[in-house]
Amino acid sequence: MTTNRGLEDIVAREISVLVPDAEKLEIGKSRVYFEANKEAVYLLNLWSRTIHRLLMVLGRERCKSLEDIYCFVSSLDFTGIIDRKQTFAVRAERSGKHKFSSPEIAATVGQAIIDSYLRDTGASLRVNLKFPDVEFMCYLVNDDFMITVNTTGESLHKRNYRVYNHPAALKATIASSLIMLSEWKTEEPFLDPMCGGGTIAIEAALIARNIAPGLFRKASFFFERLLPFDRDEYLKVRDEAERRANHGVYSITAIDISPRHLKGAHLNALSAGVHDTIRFIKGDARFLEKYMDIQPRVVVVNPPYGIKLTRMKHVPILYRDFLKSLKKVTERACLVVITAATRVFREACKEAEISIVERRLILHGALQTTVFKCVIG
């Protein structure tokens, strides 16, 4: 499967919880590999909060040239994957030094699939690059070639509940990963003091209410078009997901200084069906003591970095005052922060005497950000 770079270990942990009999879990760059049965495809696409795409590996081989790739792919059997009336597309990515391009890999693999299918069935498969029924994804890293089939379709980070698009919105998969990193127990008070469009608080509410994010999906999953698809088995997993949601009461607070963003966050929460699980407050994170009547035990926040929303000079003051104010409202808490203003955050922690216990680099889109885990008290 694919995910955000830097969060692979969190994804691996999630997989081992959702699919306890998954075997041979192995962490790669933006990828986690494992072996599991067919039910895991339905389960993970519906339940995973951290995965982008779940890919089924069809074959892996050392390949140095396009000829090697052609020979390997054409030796595979595609008759159990794609029906003769279906169309397909091949996407390819490569890294390392090669005398050929990614589009050339895709074209070679496409021809090899057509030739293999023709040999095995007498039927000629058709290509549709825009709206294929089946999508093959190929990766070549140096001479390590892998062909997979996409069981997800569009990335799972698009949750479909977002009706208000905050200009600096966090990917829902990153938000969920940060909450998992905080080791939040859902009975503990949770706070996002600069919530923007509400992604972090909404993902927290979905976790607490045990709502499977895949249930928001409007388009079908790509696994529904693959030949091994078993509709009855999938409906069982889906019905079970619908049954498992709860209507418990949790303490999740989301604050933002901007009435516009706060209104957007509320609309997003409404669309996700968790507006009654989150307390939204228009407020200033530098003066939390004005709004907080309970001590937050877990704080997960994506403050402005000084790039898009706030002028750079305001950011150090904001970080410093926010951390000082946070210490006033809680004696003991875990704080997880994602920011591109790394140095500024470190300095603010030093000044507020907050210790950083973990630090990891992650890519958010094209932006290099740092995730800090801190302890207060």
Ligand X SMILES: C[S@@+](CC[C@H](N)C(=O)[O-])C[C@H]1O[C@@H](n2cnc3c(N)ncnc32)[C@H](O)[C@@H]1O
Q: Does residue 299 contact residue 178 with C-beta atoms inside 8 Å?
A: no
Assess 196 for contact with ligand X (CB under 6 A): yes
CB of 367 to ligand X, least distance (A): 11
Contact with ligand X (CB under 6 A) among 53, 184, 256, 329: 256
Assess 333 for contact with ligand X (CB under 6 A): no
In this complex, which beta carbon is closest to ligand X, that of residue 135 or of residue 256?
256
Q: Does residue 158 contact residue 32 with C-beta atoms inside 8 Å?
A: no
Q: Does residue 92 contact residue 105 with C-beta atoms inside 8 Å?
A: yes
In 3-state terms, what secondary structure has residue 70? Answer: helix
CB of 197 to ligand X, least distance (A): 3
The closest of 346, 355, 345 to 375, measured between CA atoms, is 355
CB of 305 to ligand X, least distance (A): 7
Assess 304 for contact with ligand X (CB under 6 A): yes
User: 136 has which bridge partners?
Assistant: 90, 149
Alpha carbons 210 and 241: distance in angstroms, whole number: 9
Alpha carbons 250 and 207: distance in angstroms, whole number: 11
Alpha carbons 170 and 364: distance in angstroms, whole number: 8
Assess 224 for contact with ligand X (CB under 6 A): no
Alpha carbons 248 and 206: distance in angstroms, whole number: 11
CA 159 distance to own-chain centroid: 10
CB of 46 to ligand X, least distance (A): 23
Assess 303 for contact with ligand X (CB under 6 A): yes
Q: Which 312-331 positions form the footprint of ligand X (CB under 6 A)?
A: 318
Sort residue 183 into left (φ over 0), alpha (ψ -120 to 50) or beta.
left
CB of 357 to ligand X, least distance (A): 22
Assess 258 for contact with ligand X (CB under 6 A): yes
Which alpha helices (DSSP H) does 330-367 contain, by range? 342-352
Contact with ligand X (CB under 6 A) among 32, 46, 169, 334: 169
| Residue type, position 157, single letter | H
Name the one range near ligand X by CB under 6 A: 32-40, 178-186, 257-265, 352-360: 257-265
CB of 32 to ligand X, least distance (A): 24
Name the one range near ligand X by CB under 6 A: 8-16, 68-76, 289-297, 298-306: 298-306
CB of 198 to ligand X, least distance (A): 6
Assess 306 for contact with ligand X (CB under 6 A): no
CB of 82 to ligand X, least distance (A): 38
In this complex, which beta carbon is closest to ligand X, that of residue 25 or of residue 168?
168
Buried b (16+ CB within 10 A) or exposed e, 186-201: bebbbbbbbbbbbbbb
Name the one range near ligand X by CB under 6 A: 78-86, 190-198, 204-212, 353-361: 190-198
Please report which helix (H) or strand (E) contains residue 279, including its range: strand 278-282
Assess 36 for contact with ligand X (CB under 6 A): no
| Residue type, position 210, single letter | N
Q: How many CB atoms lie within 10 A of CB 362?
A: 17
Q: Which 200-219 positions form the footprint of ligand X (CB under 6 A)?
A: 200
The closest of 142, 150, 149 to 61, measured between CA atoms, is 142
The size of the interface with ligand X (CB under 6 A), counted in residues, is: 23
Contact with ligand X (CB under 6 A) among 11, 19, 40, 170: 170
Assess 197 for contact with ligand X (CB under 6 A): yes
Footprint on this chain of ligand X (rule: CB under 6 A): 166, 168-170, 193-194, 196-197, 199-200, 255-258, 261, 284-286, 302-304, 309, 318
